[in-house]
Amino acid sequence: MDVTSKNLVVEKAKTSRIEQIDFDHLPFGANFTDHMFVCDYKNGQWETPKIIPYQPLMMEPSASVFHYGQAVFEGMKAYKDDEGGIWLFRPDENFRRINRSGERLAMPAFPEEYFFEGLKKLLLLDQEWIKPGIGNSLYIRPFVIASQPAIIASPSQEFKFIIICSPAQSYYGGEVRVKIAEKFSRAADGGFGYTKAAGNYAGQFYPTNLAKEEGFQQVVWTDANTHEYIEEAGTMNIFIRLGDKLITCPTSDRILDGVTRKSVIALAEDRGIEVEVRPIKVVELLEGMKDGSLKEMFGSGTAAVINPILGFGYKGERYELPKVENSYAATIKKQLMDIQYNRAEDKFGWRYRVK
């Protein structure tokens, strides 16, 4: 045990598991680095955070995360450039968002210094796990879970803030065709769809399984009231290109305010592309297919950066998007990744140097 600062205790792993990892064939999110960050909340305060060898958690069966879903998470990535520099992309956004999610779920805010000091130390310890090269990254998963052992349906008084890291390869989303939701929904007005709360995700699995049986890979959710407006996919915000305009719906209490989404908007505007942030009707997609103005659809999110959508299904019909020259998706994805990997100018100050 060596105490790095009064705010962080580090216990190093005796051996590394890195040799067991096949970095050329990485399943997403199944391998984890040698260390993890853990900080407990008890008696009204966050205790001294620790970095410890990656290990199972001992949880009481009555811990409220198991019963009431009081849990939030984030998803971010670390990138290594060709000089061995290590970078994060807009981590302040993720930090603020995990606390915003937590607030909606009656969880205590996590201190900014603990987060950044802990995260940087963790990345430095496990830096060998971050491979250089476009597409390679270390997926970082901060999460907070309610750990108080009491099955009463009220806010927990104890929590664990944890960060685990998983090496990731270029996340090739594959051919993505989406089903536009007609019956099921993801989030309610006045609910917590805008948070990365655990409870927003499991509810999507069953409708997504049904969509998969019909040959789609993902669901694009629509508003629960009318199913007339498209909202977002399971882990991606949605953009459409109508003519030369790029359009995405506004965020709301139902829709996650994606970091990639806002970066795409900024980069597109910076390139002189006209961006409209406004509700998108499903019928606009149908009309755009008919008159040829719907040129592109894509999802934006940390895992896949930008994932082109090749087609969609709606009310029993299937629609295939045309092949497009000078795709916005491809251009913006490249520019975004060049910034993330420290290969291009960082005009907006989005990069954050870890090392």
Binding site for ligand PLP (CB under 6 A): 75, 196, 232, 235-237, 256, 258-261, 300-302
Torsion 170-267-264-266 (CA) sign: positive
115 is a contact residue toward its own copies (CB under 8 A):
no
Q: What per-residue string of b and e applies to 8-23 under the rule 16 or more CB within 10 Å gives b?
A: bbbeebeebeeeeeee
Per the structure block, which two tokens stand in for 146?
Answer: 């309610």
Say if CB 157 and CB 149 are below 8 A apart.
no
3-state secondary structure of 351: strand
Q: How far apart are CA 229 and CA 249, in angstroms?
A: 9
Say if CB 327 and CB 296 are below 8 A apart.
yes
Residue 295 interaction partner, one of its own copies, ligand PLP, none, beta carbon < 5-8 Å per kind: none
**Residue among 35 and 351 whose Cβ is closer to its own copies:** 35
Min CB(47)–ligand PLP separation in Å: 29
Which amino acid is it at 287?
E
**Residue among 107 and 289 whose Cβ is closer to ligand PLP:** 107
Specify the DSSP element, H or E, that contains 227: none
Residues in contact with its own copies, counted by CB under 8 A, come to a total of: 70
Among the listed residues 124, 188, 283, 324, the single contact to its own copies using CB under 8 A: 188
CA 156 to chain centre: 25
18 is a contact residue toward its own copies (CB under 8 A):
no
Among the listed residues 65, 98, 123, 297, the single contact to its own copies using CB under 8 A: 65
Residue 351 interaction partner, one of ligand PLP, its own copies, none, beta carbon < 5-8 Å per kind: none
**Residue among 103 and 287 whose Cβ is closer to its own copies:** 103
**Residue among 221 and 319 whose Cβ is closer to ligand PLP:** 221
48 is a contact residue toward its own copies (CB under 8 A):
no
Q: What are phi and psi of 3, to 5 degrees?
A: -90, 110
**Residue among 38 and 72 whose Cβ is closer to ligand PLP:** 72
Residue 100 interaction partner, one of ligand PLP, its own copies, none, beta carbon < 5-8 Å per kind: none
181 is a contact residue toward its own copies (CB under 8 A):
yes
**Residue among 162 and 266 whose Cβ is closer to its own copies:** 162
Which amino acid is it at 227?
H
Which amino acid is it at 281?
K
- Which residues, including other chains, have CB under 8 Å from residue 240's CB and lie 6 or more apart? 246, 247, 248, 280, 284, 285, 288, 294, 296, 297
**Which positions touch its own copies (CB under 8 A)?**
27-30, 32, 36, 54-62, 65-71, 73, 103-106, 139, 141, 143, 145-146, 149-155, 162, 164, 166, 181, 183-192, 197-206, 208-209, 224-225, 227, 234-235
